[in-house]
Chain A
Amino acid sequence: GAVVSQHPSRVICKSGTSVKIECRSLDFQATTMFWYRQFPKQSLMLMATSNEGSKATYEQGVEKDKFLINHASLTLSTLTVTSAHPEDSSFYICSAPRIGTQYFGPGTRLLVL
């Protein structure tokens, strides 16, 4: 069964609104989680590392003020896309490390109109 969940699976929003995506590790604790973005027909691009109890670490070129990450507990990380625009439309997917591998959530498809 799934070990990492994401919610919502799909979201459509108007330009200028903010969208929150949740990532949960279901039966294990994750002090670190990762957020990726995937555009159609492209690979997964790492956006940031979510750290429980401290600030997220963002990859080069990712705007920290636009993509707010909060690691609220050992099983929950949230990604908030603030003031979303059509170019933010993408597939967002989180992962959590466990026993030497990475387990991925099912992903969230964001469409900004």
Chain B
Amino acid sequence: AQKITQTQPGMFVQEKEAVTLDCTYDTSDPSYGLFWYKQPSSGEMIFLIYQGSYDQQNATEGRYSLNFQKARKSANLVISASQLGDSAMYFCAMREGRDDKIIFGKGTRLHILP
């Protein structure tokens, strides 16, 4: 079974609009961490935001926020005021327990339209 599910293979959003990228996860470990990475066409993996399972508040980093709904096992990324430079692949990822390794979802390709 997939541990990280991203159901949107691609999305088209108008510039300056907010966008939500979906991510659900599956784990039985009470301690885990959730990540979002951006991968532009160059291939580099850019860390965006992190949410720990015990964090009480939703993580925010500038225009990025993580809508963490623990009971639903959901960790959606919200990008406010989208920009053309936001066009890229976005990956949701998870770390379980004390293990540092992270596994990735299939990704969502985001296209920002001018």
Q: Is the CB of B50 within 8 A of A44?
A: no
Q: In the complex, what residues of B have CB within 8 A of residue A101's CB?
A: 35, 47, 50
Other-chain residue from B45, B100, B103 in contact with A104 (beta carbon distance below 8 A): B45
- Complex Cα–Cα for A106 and B43 (A): 7
State the CA gap A49–B103 with chains docked (Å). 12
Number of B interface residues at 8 Å Cβ cutoff, please give it: 20
How many of chain A's residues have a CB under 8 angstroms from any CB in B?
21
Interface of B is mostly: strand
The answer to whether the Cβ of A67 comes within 8 Å of any Cβ in the partner chain is no
Known: A43-B91, A97-B100. A107 touches B35 (CB 8 A): no
Query: Contact between A34 and B91 (Cβ–Cβ < 8 Å)?
Result: no
- The chain B residues found within 8 Å of chain A, CB to CB, are 33, 35, 37, 42-45, 47, 50, 52, 91, 95, 100-107
Identify the A interface with B (CB < 8 A): 32, 34, 38, 42-46, 49, 91, 93, 95, 97, 100-104, 106-107, 109
